[in-house]
Amino acid sequence: MAHPASRTREVCALLADGSTVRLREACPDDRGQVLRLYEEMSADNLRSRFFAASRRSGQQAADRLCAPPRPGHRTLVALRGDRLIGVAEYETVDDPASAEIALAVADDLHHRGVGTLLLEHLVHTARENGIATFTADVLADNHLIHQVFADLGLRVTRQYEGPTVRGIIRLAPDERYLSAVDLRGRTADTASMQPLLCPRSIAVIGAGTRPGSVGRAILHNLREAHFAGRLYAVNPHAHAVLRIPAYPSVTDLPQPPDLAVLAVPAAVVPETAVRCGRAGVGALVVVTSGLDAAAEAELTAACRHGGMRLVGPNCLGIANTEASIRMDATFAVATPLPGTAGVAVQSGGVGIALLEGLAHLGIGVSSFVSLGDKRDVSSNDLLQWWECDGRTDLALLHLESFGNPRAFSRTARRVARRMPLLTVDAGRSAAGRRAAASHTAAAATPTMTRRALFAQAGITATRTLGELLDCAALLHSQPLPAGGRVAVVSNAGGAGVLAADACADAGLTVPELPQDLVAELGALLPAAAGAANPVDTTPAVRVPALSDCVDRIARSGAVDAVLVALVPTALTSAVGADLVAALTTPAPDGPVRPPVVAVLLDQMDRVRLLAAGEGRTVPSYGEPQSAARALCHAVERARWLARPPGGIVEPAGVDAPGARAVAEAFLARVPAGGWLDARETDRLFACYGIPRARQAYAGTEQEAVDAAARLASHDGGVVLKAAGPALVHKSERGGVLLDLHGEQQIRAAHRELTARLGTAMSEVLVQPMAAHGTELLAGVVQDEVFGALVLFGLGGTASDVLADHAARLAPLTDTDIHELLTAPRCTPLLFGYRGGLPVDVHGLEDLLARLSRMADDLPELAEAECNPVIARPDGITVVDARVRLLPRRGRDPYLRRLP
């Protein structure tokens, strides 16, 4: 009997080998398949699995597993295509917080991670239902399942009872579990990208015979780049395209290709994708544009069902220059040179420009992906790919947003430790942010904030594509500077001054050189030369003296970088190979040589990499500003690498299931989302142990008087605040009355609020009047590019006027928290400014950690604002808070599943 209503939503996830499986709760329809799973299991497997069914008949087991969910019992099934390949169940016995589990996977699918994946999802479901431990009775010799438990990453204890072992798994997730899940996720992700970026065979579907056909152009590029695998064309009207054999349909190909590139009309993209899935294609690139939302959804569904990763739609294609692959599945004009830069772009046009720019610099590309509409593969997947492809050492991104922002900040921070990660911050328009209602959201706008966020993630963000290439040239060719001290060397005094100014503007320093070095240089250079910094060699200098001079400065340890600004003279001619060689000679011994950059003032065009033999190069810029900015980015990267990454802070006493329940109850009441009322806000904050002012709700004047008597502060003062669903900014509407003393004042205040606000006020909030302190703001806001941010700064009514806020990406590490606390201009007030006592900084740090945790737990959290937080030497109190939730499900970082 079918219970379609009991069929829960399916999620897709990747196995260790990169193939896709679907997971969902079992339903009565599954009974036949579950029975078959048992019947097909070998006796050995049945015995050794710790599955409860080994003690029962298959019939009974199937009945029990597929029964509609009941309290304390859940069953998850895993499916591949239409086949059920595994089941996992938990059931509470006596203690509602502890459940027994059982697991079974089809014989032919062991060692693929099906069991682990089912368990991860079972852990998640159980945690959401308030279960704290799993127990499992396993035969002592069942090594496979013991290994599965151990690998899970949760804490497992064992009790030996004769031939069986009772494993007790504690479900509370921690950073260890998170990294175990994360590592499994990355392994699976990378494996799933294999058919996409390292295909052994490719079919171009929609390869036309006429010139001008996009499919034909791709086929042409694949052939011209000498693709290492087999190539097919799919075209129902031709036997061959560009002398490559053509077949009427993907199902007619002699073998299912690893990769299919779709260049068919938008209307037939979904059905073509379905056919690819059936034919066993490994991955899809869809270049076609103009799919409507429904067609895009059908396309994604077809890819999930068929276990295919998807690039696009609406993209330029992909390329991998690895010698054993040689794939150029793009319709760009030129094939990228092989090399070490990974490139991902959203727009095809920018992709072409970027590839052209890199080619001009002679920087080769490892892989190139035009992501288009990013229905599946995003920059996060590529960052992970480059992280372990063994080739990429420089990542370039040009994107409007970074895939799943929640995953982005973790991934970027990890990958940026291995390689420079460059992106263009095109500067988001303010319009989108203005739509956000609370002041916290508006405060997140400034460019300064965006710069800080990129910096926190270790990303080098430039303002233009040109600046991106300027940085790429420097980071590709030179070591990182240890600091920001620059020596400017020039053969024309004016050029040296320009360059020194440019360095200062970019935030670098041009320090005076030490006396002995100045003397040393003076002896080398023509008589009229000035050897302070900038070093003016005069136009009379000859190349050997100039290069000697640069070399001595580089070795001196007095500066962290050398900028050589040259104007061509008869003596230095344009740029002789000997000069370039001098600029790039590595120090044979002694300290690491600082980076050297050239500015050729006659060049006046974009950056070049001057070759100096033995593969060494030096970047040369047309303008000192470009060189200085690139150096400044390199200094920032070096500083980021030197900064301790810190650990993510785990505040104690957090009730995440409780918070989830508050969020779900609110969204059940207000499905479209909106502001929590005061009580809901209280409940949510209590789950995170956020120190709120004591408060009570009063429906009537008398209740307000009674509450005031209970709550009054040491000097008897109370605060009355109007509360109501639409009252977000209370004092703007005259809804906050402070420092009230005695029954009469309270009664008068209550009447005043009632008169002023009428029906907008549903009740009154009574709080003790807090002692004087520094009013601060702390909050969370969602940024469409970066994901959840934690904000901190000056609060109270001044917060809008002064806009003194800083923001950092959640989740915060201890280093992040320290930086966030010290970033706003108001910070000196906290640490005892002008003889004042320092406020409770630990309390503030703890508050920020708790807000960060809340943001990490609740993807529904659109914004949360504590304003003001009153900070005093003896503690902190949140006297006002508001929270807005939206109905969206983010990705649980503890749960692997595809978007």
Among 111, 432, 797, 837, binds ligand ADP (CB under 6 A): 797
Q: How far apart are CA 647 and CA 636, in angstroms?
A: 21
* Residue 774 within binding range of ligand ADP, rule CB under 6 A: no
Nearer to Mg ion, 439 or 608 (CB): 439
* Residue 827 within binding range of ligand ADP, rule CB under 6 A: no
Q: Is the dihedral of CA 429, 434, 439, 440 positive or negative?
A: negative
Contact between 346 and 378 under an 8 Å Cβ cutoff? The reply is no
Query: Which class for 333: exposed (0-12), middle (13-18), buried (19 or more C-beta within 10 A)?
Result: exposed
* Residue 440 within binding range of Mg ion, rule CB under 5 A: no
The reply to whether omega before 257 is within 30° of 0 (cis) is no
Q: Residue 86: phi, psi to the nearest 5?
A: -165, 155
Nearer to ligand ADP, 114 or 736 (CB): 736
Nearer to ligand ADP, 197 or 881 (CB): 881
The partner in contact with residue 770, picked from ligand ADP, Mg ion, none with C-beta cut-offs of 5 to 8 angstroms by kind, is ligand ADP
Contact between 503 and 563 under an 8 Å Cβ cutoff? The reply is yes
Least Å distance, CB 752 to ligand ADP, is 15
Least Å distance, CB 847 to Mg ion, is 15
Among 34, 279, 558, 879, binds ligand ADP (CB under 6 A): 879
Which one-letter DSSP state was computed for residue 100? E
Residues 663 to 702 in contact with ligand ADP, rule: CB under 6 A: 693
* Residue 769 within binding range of ligand ADP, rule CB under 6 A: yes
Contact between 329 and 320 under an 8 Å Cβ cutoff? The reply is no
Among 736, 854, 861, 883, binds ligand ADP (CB under 6 A): 736
Least Å distance, CB 711 to ligand ADP, is 10
* Residue 804 within binding range of ligand ADP, rule CB under 6 A: no
Least Å distance, CB 696 to ligand ADP, is 12
Q: Distance from CA of residue 856 to its chain's centroid?
A: 12
Least Å distance, CB 871 to ligand ADP, is 12
Least Å distance, CB 797 to ligand ADP, is 5
Q: Determine the residue type at 191.
A: A
Q: How far apart are CA 642 and CA 479, in angstroms?
A: 14
- Element of type H or E holding 788: strand 787-794
The contacts of residue 111 (CB under 8 Å, 6+ apart) are none
The partner in contact with residue 693, picked from ligand ADP, Mg ion, none with C-beta cut-offs of 5 to 8 angstroms by kind, is ligand ADP
The partner in contact with residue 719, picked from Mg ion, ligand ADP, none with C-beta cut-offs of 5 to 8 angstroms by kind, is ligand ADP
User: How many chain residues are in contact with ligand ADP, going by CB under 6 A?
Assistant: 18
* Residue 74 within binding range of ligand ADP, rule CB under 6 A: no
Nearer to ligand ADP, 775 or 845 (CB): 775
* Residue 275 within binding range of ligand ADP, rule CB under 6 A: no
Among 880, 893, 896, 898, binds Mg ion (CB under 5 A): 880
b/e per residue 265-278 (b: at least 16 CB within 10 A)? ebeebbebbbbbbe
Contact between 480 and 456 under an 8 Å Cβ cutoff? The reply is no
Contact between 581 and 612 under an 8 Å Cβ cutoff? The reply is yes
Q: How far apart are CA 244 and CA 225, in angstroms?
A: 14
In 277-372, beta strands by DSSP E? 283-286, 309-311, 317-320, 327-330, 338-345, 365-370
Question: DSSP letters of 108-166?
Answer: GGTTSSHHHHHHHHHHHHHHHTT--EEEEEEETT-HHHHHHHHHH-SEEEEEEETTEEE
The partner in contact with residue 721, picked from ligand ADP, Mg ion, none with C-beta cut-offs of 5 to 8 angstroms by kind, is ligand ADP
From residue 828 to residue 867, the character string flagging contacts with Mg ion as x (rule: CB under 5 A) and all else as - is: ---------------------------------------x
Least Å distance, CB 747 to ligand ADP, is 19
Nearer to Mg ion, 359 or 728 (CB): 728
Least Å distance, CB 722 to ligand ADP, is 9
Among 184, 375, 730, 884, binds ligand ADP (CB under 6 A): 730
Q: Distance from CA of residue 348 to its chain's centroid?
A: 22
Least Å distance, CB 727 to Mg ion, is 11
Q: CA of 421: how far to CAs of 412, 464, 471, 608, 647, in Å? A: 8, 15, 10, 20, 21
Least Å distance, CB 719 to Mg ion, is 12
* Residue 875 within binding range of ligand ADP, rule CB under 6 A: no
State the number of CA atoms in the 13 A half-sphere of 91 facing the CB: 12
* Residue 182 within binding range of Mg ion, rule CB under 5 A: no
Residues that bind Mg ion (CB under 5 A): 867, 880
Residues that bind ligand ADP (CB under 6 A): 693, 719, 721, 729-731, 736, 738, 767, 769-770, 775, 796-797, 867-868, 879-880
